[in-house]
Amino acid sequence: MLVIIGPTASGKTRLAVQLAQQHNGEIISADSRQVYRGMDIGTGKDLAEYVVDGQVIPYHLIDIVDAGDDYNVFRYQQDFDRALQDILSRGKTPILCGGSGMYIEAALRPTAMLAVPTNADLRARLEPLTDSALRDLFTQNPSPYSPLADTSTRKRLIRAIEIGQYLNEHPDAQPAPRPPLPPYRVIGLDPPVAVRRERISRRLRDRLQHGLMEEVQRLLGQGISPEKLIFYGLEYKFVTEYLQSQLTYNEVVTQLETAIHQFAKRQMTFFRKLEREGMNVQWIYDVRLTNYDLLLTPEHVYAGVSNKS
């Protein structure tokens, strides 16, 4: 299996489809928002990129749930396992590609995740707390999940507290086994920051000019609540606030551009965290690279986030 990671606008999809064409592959998306039907422009699905020289490259885990439905990393791991086994059973090369670090981590961890239900009462108690108070609460109540938790955003911090409390209250809870992963290699795209920033800015303006506003308006018209769209973040958050007259158009462009740049930095921070935990990444910094066979060197094959083969 090949795994392609990198921040937004780094060229992951383009590389994935080229490798899929050359190596009889199919792509498994690792994007936490591209799972939703009808959320196309804001999530950057760019499905036209999955066609190379007239050949349609098969993809999985895109457009699998309705916008507004609840979807989480636990469900993703289950869906990933099904897609992976399907691809392998047909003798194809699976290519996991995406920028959602938690989804990448869920796909590559050797063990299954435990289904931790949401706790509405706990969330209601946590919501009024400041970020600092939430962090103190997380630190003061360690659990088996504490070393693994991603607390980079308020939403994830609350979820980490929720998971920790559940595990402390259910110490005997065990996840179901999952199928073993095939050996895999991880390719990371990390173009120069100036290149990434220019791509992000250009892509944002293109999306705003070619239907992003209308897409969000349509989702609202379908009955998806503004709160839900704001929860999805980035494009959906700022455009929803614009449509509710909370922001001007210029404020949308300026604040959203800044937020996407910050998001790209957080993505790289998470990938570096996975590296520190043992994931061997072959980083590519030259965005002009075209000889993809150079990526397929045996020394980068391993099986497990912390278990090199």
- Longest CA–CA span in the chain (Å) reads 57
Q: Convert the pLDDT of each residue in 38-96 to its tens digit.
A: 999 999 998 999 998 899 999 999 999 999 998 989 999 999 999 999 999 999 999 99
Question: At what angle are helices 234-243 and 249-276 packed, to 10 degrees?
Answer: 160
Can you say which residues are annotated as belonging to the binding site? 6-13
Handedness of CA 137, 140, 143, 147 (dihedral sign): positive
3.40.50.150, 1.20.1250.20, 3.40.50.300, 1.20.1740.10: which CATH number matches 2-112+179-300?
3.40.50.300
Give the percent of the chain with pLDDT over 70. Answer: 92
**Dist. CA 290–CA 299, nearest whole Å:** 20
> In this predicted model, what pLDDT tens digit does every residue of 208-264 receive, in sequence order?
999 999 999 999 999 999 999 999 999 999 999 999 999 999 999 999 999 999 999
| Annotated binding-site residue numbers for ATP | 6-13
Q: Please tell me the number of Cα atoms within 13 Å of 150 on its side-chain side.
A: 20
Handedness of CA 165, 166, 171, 174 (dihedral sign): negative
Binding-site positions for substrate:
8-13
- What are the φ and ψ backbone dihedral angles of 62, each rounded to 5 degrees? -120, 135
